[in-house]
Amino acid sequence: MNILGMNYELLLLPYRKMKKEGEMDYLAQTITICSDNSKSIQETSMLHEIIEAIDLMLELKLDHDKICQLEVGLYQTLSANGVDLSPLFRG
Ligand SMILES: [Zn+2]
């Protein structure tokens, strides 16, 4: 996945291996999403990790609760307006 010109490798891992919904590793350039969750939870987790990457790369220094609020607002708007987020999982 290309975020601000950087290529992040997309990984899907079961919950027993990662113990969280999603994870963004800027140094390793990876985004990992929990594969046990439903499609909609995986998509909102993906948006969350994308926002985390943008926050870090642009040095926005957003509080984590703001990142969570942006995740909810973006996911609601995109999904309620028929935007297909599944291509984000092509890596
Ligand atoms: Zn987070």
CA of 84 to the centre of ligand 1 (A): 22
For residues 65-88, give the mean pLDDT.
Answer: 97
CA of 22 to the centre of ligand 1 (A): 8
pTM above 0.85, yes or no: yes
DSSP state of 21: S
DSSP state of 20: S
What order of strands is seen across the sheet that includes strand 22-25?
A: 9-13, 30-34, 22-25
The yes-or-no verdict on residue 91 having pLDDT over 90 is no
- Residue 14's pLDDT band (cuts 50, 70, 90): very high
CA of 80 to the centre of ligand 1 (A): 23
Report the pLDDT value the prediction gives residue 90, as an integer from 0 to 100. 86
Question: What integer best gives the mean pLDDT of the chain?
Answer: 96
CA of 20 to the centre of ligand 1 (A): 10
pLDDT by residue (tens digit) across 40-75?
Answer: 999 999 999 999 999 999 999 999 999 999 999 999
Question: CA angle 73-78-2, nearest 5°?
Answer: 95
Per CATH, which fold does 2-83 belong to?
Zincin-like (3.30.2010)
